[in-house]
Amino acid sequence: MHASEPLYKQVEKRILQCLAEGEWKPGDQLPTENQLAERFGVAVFTIRGGIRDLAEANILTRKQGKGTFVAKHTRQRQRYLFSRVFRNDGTQIFPERKLLSFEREPASDEVTAILGLQKQERPMIFRITGLLTVDEDPASTLDIMVPTKMFQGLTARVIREGQENLYAVYQDVCGINVIRIQESVYGTNARGSIARALKTAVNSPVLRVERIAYTYNDIPVEFRIRHLDATKYHYCCDEGSA
């Protein structure tokens, strides 16, 4: 281990590397603190420091009397960590996802750069479009792009029949665990297809929400764009990991 960095941070990185290599998968229980201390050659309290930070980042979960586990994406987890849409009266909503299309296509230069894809050959992506609805009323458009090489096994049927939490689908079907997101929100106007999809007037105010999702080692795995009807809803950004 490197002397210039606190030992507990080095332990944290070692655990993250094990997760990235698939040694422990979502839902798996980690070895005991004593076993990890022996494996990494550090004291138990150092292991606890590394685990504490990963638990605070929602990458690991601690269960009283049972041990430490790799966090799993669930419907409840999605609601509390990713559901940030509210009615303009302040009521939080939990939209339903409606799949509109699932296509395999070449990545644009912008998406290639955002997802850090290799440019030697034109990289391919799965493009998923849909709507987020509240009581059948469209609240937001959904445009998702993921690299095909990382998401083999992902199909329209899997998405349509899978869990409400799309990150749980990624996790269960593709072995991709999203642990962090980065979002940017812009004010704009509804044009053309966006206005039609949201059933709102052309030039009505909308929020454009761009999200990049990351897995272990800060590797980007998903780029998504949403347009939210700002006449009915607003977006609340809260700090936190996936």
Q: What fold characterizes domain 75-235?
A: Chorismate lyase (3.40.1410)
Q: What is the pTM of this model?
A: 0.84
The answer, yes or no, to whether residue 53 has pLDDT greater than 60, is yes
Q: What CA–CA distance (Å, rounded) separates 167 from 165?
A: 5
- Cα 138 to Cα 100, 141, 180, 199, 211, distances in angstroms: 13, 8, 27, 7, 20
Residue 16: what pLDDT?
92
- Average the pLDDT over 116-139 and give the result: 90
The answer, yes or no, to whether residue 72 has pLDDT greater than 70, is yes
- Report the percent of the chain where pLDDT is more than 90: 60
Q: What CA–CA distance (Å, rounded) separates 86 from 91?
A: 5
Residue 139: what pLDDT?
92
* Domain regions of the chain by residue span: 7-70, 75-235
Residue 149 is encoded by which pair of tokens?
Answer: 């090489």
Residue 112: what pLDDT?
95
Burial class (CB in 10 A: 0-12, 13-18, 19+), 34: exposed
The answer, yes or no, to whether residue 83 has pLDDT greater than 70, is no
The answer, yes or no, to whether residue 80 has pLDDT greater than 70, is no
Residue 237: what pLDDT?
67
In this prediction, residue 76 has a pLDDT band, given cuts at 50, 70 and 90, of low
- Average the pLDDT over 221-236 and give the result: 93
In this prediction, residue 241 has a pLDDT band, given cuts at 50, 70 and 90, of very low
- What does the buried/exposed string (b/e) look like for 193-210 if buried means 16 or more CB atoms within 10 Å of the residue's CB? ebbebbebeeebebbbbe
CA atoms lying within 13 Å on the CB side of residue 240:
14
Residue 34: what pLDDT?
94
When mean pLDDT is compared over 90-99, 118-127, 179-188, the highest value belongs to 179-188
The answer, yes or no, to whether residue 215 has pLDDT greater than 90, is yes
139-164: pLDDT as tens digits:
999 999 999 999 999 999 999 987 67
Residue 123: what pLDDT?
93
The answer, yes or no, to whether residue 217 has pLDDT greater than 60, is yes
Q: What is the CATH number of domain 7-70?
A: 1.10.10.10
Query: Within a 10 A sphere around the Cβ of 31, how many other Cβ atoms?
Result: 15
In this prediction, residue 238 has a pLDDT band, given cuts at 50, 70 and 90, of low
Burial class (CB in 10 A: 0-12, 13-18, 19+), 107: buried
In this prediction, residue 242 has a pLDDT band, given cuts at 50, 70 and 90, of very low
Strand partners, 130: 99, 142
* Average pLDDT of the chain to the nearest whole number: 88
Task: Give backbone dihedrals phi and psi of 8, rounded to 5 degrees, phi first.
Answer: -65, -30
Q: Which residue has the higher pLDDT, 140 or 77?
A: 140
